[in-house]
Structure formats: C-alpha cells, structure tokens
Structure 1
Amino acid sequence: MNRAAAPLLAATLGIATYGGMDAIMKGLSIAHGAYSAVLWRSVAGVALMAPLFLARRKPWPTAAALKLHLARGTVAGGSVLLFFWGLARVPMAQGVALTFLAPLIALFLAAALLGERVGRGAILGSLVASLGVLAIAAGEVQAQASTDTVLGSLAVVAASILYAGSLILLRQQAQAADPLEVALFTSVVLSGLMLLAAPWFGSFPAVSLLPEVIGAAVLGSVSAVVIAWAYARAEAQALAPVEYTAFVWSAALGWLVFGESVSGWTVAGAALIILGCLVAVRGPAAPAPQTEAAA
C-alpha cells in the first residue's frame, strides 16, 4: 500500500466507525440521558484500553504529555457532553453538519491563543460557512422546529466551539504520544471529571443497555486510535476532505436507525459549511472536524 494513502484510508475507517458510535450514543442519550451515556461509555473505554496499554509495558507518559492529555480531555469532554445532549434532540445529519464549523473556529482560536495570522481565505470561508448555518436555521424555522430542537442545535454549535479548542491540542497530543495512549488518557480524564458529578447528574444504565454502552466504547476506542494514528502521519489539511464523509454516514444511519429524513436545507447548509472549510484551509494546514469531538 502507498504510504501516503494509508493515513487517508485509516481516517476513512475512523470516520465510518465514529458514525456507528454516534448512532449508538444518540440512542443511549435518548433512553438514559446524555450525561450517563457519555460517563459510562468513557468508563467502559478505559476498561477496554487500559489492559492493552499496561500489557505493552511502555514508560508512563511524561509530564508534558500528561498536561496535554489533561487539557484535551477536559475540553473535549465538555464538547462530547454538549454534542450528545444536542444530538438527542436534532437529526444526526444536521448535528454532524454543525460540527463541521470546528475547523474554522479553530483557525480563529489559534490566532487568538497562539498568535497565528488569520488569512483572507479563513475570513471568506467563515462567511460562506455562516451562510450554511443560516440555511440550517432557516430549515428549522420552515419546519416550525420545537424549542427542544433549537436548543439541541445551539448545544451542538457550543460543542463545536469547545471541540475547536481540542483540535488545537490534537496535533501536539498525537506527536507527543502514541495513538493508544492518546485515546486511553483522553478517556481517563473525561471519566474522572464526570465521576465527580455523577452523584448528581449520573445514574447506572439498565442491564439491557449494557451491550450498547460496551459497543459504543469499542467503536469509540477503535476510532480514536485509528484517527490518532492517521493524524500522527499526515497533515490535518490532507485528511480534512475525508472527514466530511461523516455527513453521509450520519444521514444514512439517522435514516436507518431513527427514521430521520434529511431536508434540503440541511444538505445545502452542510455543503456551504464544507465549502467554507475547504476555502479556509487552502493555505496553511488547519485541523479537521472528526465529526463528534471525540474523546
């Protein structure tokens, strides 16, 4: 296999796997609440990956790597929780389309936090993507969306803002640690933080839901490892186009699993957001969305 093609194929597999996890997590969030769904998926992910990490008998992460894990786990955790809370209230395709704002937001966050220059392409891309968000909002108005649906969309947009911050950390994290370590310690941080508030916001899932929790953890862990592997071997700009296939997976799974239809407004909005992202990243490499803000 061409070495340049391997990261692209890995990213494609990772995005498809994420799509399956999103569908399971949406069902769990509807049945059991987003907080508990995210909490127990993360705990199950730690239980699955920790033995593999320990079996390799590699050195414990350095202090610098642990700081990156803590930072990204905290930011990505908030993003994941908001995303699945919102996804339980909006169609999957619409929710995933809104997460595509993350790479654009990351460009501006990098400018604010790291002093990077925002080029004209990024500004133009942001304007185009904003039209996409307005198209999706117009679709909600036309469909007379409920307050719950509107709040779900706003939660996904907020998740994208937080996820943009985690994208800035992703490249550093992937360079400082191997894929399994990245996936494991991101889940460890998320689980630890959520367990602190579990007595107030969480609850144990019903026994009948345990296979779904484990399934989501397996898919999430595999996807996180594969994506981290791809990002360690290719620039984010090269992987960005592949990651937009998440819209296709979300539309298909939303229809198959939840009977959701995809409106023309959502398709038009997604197309404009993707176009805006591609315009923005034609210059310097920029992080791509990875659909859900994954932990």
Structure 2
Amino acid sequence: MSRVLQGVLLQLAALAFFVTMDALLKVLVASHPVPQLMFVRFCFHVLLVAVAVRLITGGLPFRSRAPVLQTLRSLSLAAANAALSVALIHIPLADATAVSFAAPVLTVALAALWLGESVSPRRWVGVALGLAGVMVALRPPFLTGEPLHWAMLLPLVTAAMNTVYQLLTRRLSAIDDPRTTFLHTGIAAAAVTGLAQPFVWQPVAAWDWPLFAALGLLGGLGHCLLVLAFARAPASVLAPMSYTQLVWAGLAGVLVFGDWPDGWTLLGAAIIAAGGILVAVPGRRSGAGQAGDPAS
C-alpha cells in the first residue's frame, strides 16, 4: 500500500470519528454552555492522548521544535470548534457541515500558496466548483429570496480555522515527531477555554461525564489519525477526501435528530462533492518523472 493511499484511508477513518463527535456535541449543546463543553472535551483529549502515547510508544516526546506553530494549531482548532458548537445550537448538523466544507477548498488553494504544493489547472477548477457549492449551501437571499440565518455564517469561521489547522498539521509533520503533535493538539485549547470556566461552569450530572469523555476520545482519535494522514500525503490530496463527511453528517442528522436536508443543502453538497472529485482524481502522468507528483 502506497503512503498516499495510507494517508487517504487514515483521513477517512478520522472523518468517521469527527462526524460522531459532532453529533454528540449537538446533543450536549442543548443543555451545557459551549465553553464548558470545549474545556472538558480538550481536557479529556489531552489526558487520553497522553495515556495512549505513553502506553503504545513508551515515552512522552512533548518538546516541540516549533512551539509557536503548535500553539497556533491548537488555538485554531479551538476557534473552529467554538464556531461550530454555537452554530449547532441554531441549525441542523448537515447544514453546518456543508457550509464548513469551504475548508477543503481553501486548503487546496493555500497548500499551493503557502506550502508550495503543485496544483493543476483542473484542480483549480474543482476549487472554484467547491466554492460555488458552498455558496448554494449557504442559501444566499439572491437565490432563495429569504433572509440568511446568521448562524449559517459561523461554519465559514469553522472552515477558515480548519484550513489553518490542516495546513499547520502538514507543516508540522515535517518538523516534529507525530507523537509530539498528538500531545500538543489540545493543550493550548484546554488552557484558553479553562480561563472562561469561573464564569460559565455549571454542575454536571453523573451520566453526562461519560459523554464528555467520549467527546475527548473521539476528538483525540480523530486528530491523531489526521496527523498520521498528513505525514503520509499532501494536503492538496487529503483535503478533498473530507467531502465524504457530508454523507455521514446527513445520515447522522436524519437518524439522530430527524433533520432531513432540504433541497439547497443537497444541491450545495452535490456541487461541493463534484468539485472534490475533480480535485481528488489523479490526472494522467506523462512520464516516469511525474509518477510521484500527487497534484497531477
């Protein structure tokens, strides 16, 4: 199995954990403050990841060669989660997920500009198509004739922060041991959200603690797999794989919350997926020298 294929499979597994975590988060935001959920989630994340790394590898390689980048990566994840958590209070899971899929589109574009990864003209067309699909999923007034719900803009914040997070993950994969990045993922996020707890903390029922722990477990496993994926394949190849999350988010919305995606969400998701496929499918290689080019 090639390293790029390994990266794709790890990315798909990570997305399954993320969809499950988002569905659980939507359940919990109905009765708990968002900062409290984020703090508990990241605390469990740090604890579970540290225990897993120690048991599996026999060490805790905490020291980073790029601590500022690690901190920014963790804070970008916290910002993405905060925006999505607030959005899920007001809009269905499938809608929030569809709009947040500006992130893979932005990741492909910025991977070319920031990381110097090669992106072919065909993939740029896929990027443009994906952005058009995001616009449809947003239901702008000029399409629907109805006012845009303000919460639909929050997943765009999630998309921007996820783009920063993914690109920093890719950059750090060449600087730090993946275990170091695992350990740092939730630390800055837990520290920052911890500052809000004296003002927002509410008593937690005994039966909610396992759900809080599950948030940390799902997030920790998902992000560990994501780090491994980005260590094996370019961001411009992995980002479009995220479109499969649209399917699972739609199913979760129907099965767990009874929220059926409307026509605009389905149309936008279909356009986004078409753009993702256009970006993801490799082109023909004209020579042996291009065989390793993931952006052909």
The verdict on a shared fold, with TM-score over 0.5 as the criterion, is yes
Q: Cα distance, 1:113 vs. partner?
A: 6.0
Quick one: distance in 2 between partners of 1:109 and 1:12? 21
1:6-32 CA-to-partner distances (Å, cap 9, x unmatched) read 333222221112111111111112221
Does residue 61 of structure 1 match 2:63?
Answer: yes
**Corresponding position of 1:236:** 235
SS in 1 for 2:174: helix
- Summarize the Cα distance change of 1:118–1:48 in structure 2 as closer, same or farther, 3 Å threshold: closer
For residues 19-68 of structure 1, give each alpha carbon's deviation from its aligned partner in whole angstroms, at most 9, with x where no partner exists: 1111111111222132221211111111212233445224432342x222
What does residue 104 of structure 1 align with? 105
Match in the other structure for 2:272: 273
- Which residue is equivalent to 1:14? 14
For the residue of structure 1 that corresponds to 2:275, the secondary structure is helix
Maintained 8 Å contact 1:126/1:277? yes
Q: TM-score, normalised by structure 2?
A: 0.81
* TM-score, structure 1 normalization: 0.81
Paired letter, 1:138: R
Query: What is residue 199 of structure 1 aligned with on the other side?
Result: 198
275-284 vs 250-259, which deviates more? 275-284
SS at match of 2:191: helix
Show the 5 A alignment for 1:82-101: 82-101=83-102
AA paired with 2:232?
R
Q: Which structure: larger Rg?
A: 2
d(CA) in 2 for partners of 1:39 and 1:80?
A: 11
TM-superposed CA distance for 1:119, in Å, is 7.4
Structure 2 Cα separation of the partners of residues 6 and 116 of structure 1: 19
Give me the whole-angstrom Cα distance separating, in 1, the residues matched to 2:163 and 2:72: 13
- 1:137–1:120 Cα change, 3 Å: same
Alignment partner, residue 290 of structure 2: none
Measured in 1, the distance between the counterparts of 2:70 and 2:197 equals: 21
User: Structure 2: where are the runs of 5+ without partners?
Assistant: 284-292
User: What's the CA shift string for 1:64-115, capped at 9, x where partnerless?
Assistant: 2x22211111122111111121123221112111121113223555677678
> 1:163 maps to which residue?
162
Decide whether the 8 Å contact of 1:183 with 1:225 is kept in 2: yes
For 1:127 and 1:238, how far apart are their aligned partners in 2? 16
Measured in 2, the distance between the counterparts of 1:179 and 1:204 equals 36
* Count of residues in Structure 1 that have an aligned counterpart in Structure 2: 282
Tell me by how many angstroms 1:5 deviates.
3.8
Assess, with a 3 A threshold, how the Cα gap between structure 1 residues 7 and 193 changes in structure 2: closer, same or farther.
Answer: same
**Counterpart position of 1:32:** 32
Q: Give me the whole-angstrom Cα distance separating, in 2, the residues matched to 1:162 and 1:266.
A: 22
Counterpart CA distance in 1 for 2:138 and 2:4 is: 39
1:61 is paired with a residue whose SS is: coil
The Cα RMSD (Å) is 3.1
**Does the aligned pair in 2 maintain the 1:130–1:273 contact within 8 Å?**
yes
The percent of aligned pairs where both chains have the same amino acid is: 27
Contact 2:3 2:233 in 1 (8 A): no
Give the whole-Å Cα distance in 2 for the aligned partners of 1:107 and 1:7.
16
Match of 1:292 in 2: none
1:22 & 1:185 partners in 2: Cα distance? 21
Shift of 1:156: 0.7
Aligned to 1:46: 46
Residues 177-232 of structure 1: CA deviation (Å, up to 9, x unaligned)? 34443232110110001112222344453333111111111111111112211221
Structure 1 portions without partners, runs of 5+: 287-295
Q: Is the Cα–Cα contact under 8 Å of residues 65 and 175 in structure 2 kept in the other structure?
A: no
Name the aligned partner's letter for residue 49 of structure 1. V
- What does residue range 236-255 of structure 1 map to in structure 2 within 5 Å? 236-255=235-254
Letter in 2 for 1:50: A
Contact 1:125/1:279 (8 A) holds in 2: yes
8 A contact 1:131–1:272 mirrored in 2: yes
Q: Conserved in 1, the CA contact under 8 Å of 2:73 and 2:168?
A: yes
Distance change in 2, residues 1:27/1:110 (3 Å) = same
Amino acid aligned to 1:225: C
- Counterpart amino acid of residue 45 in structure 2: G
Cα contact 1:49–1:180 (8 A) shared by 2:
no
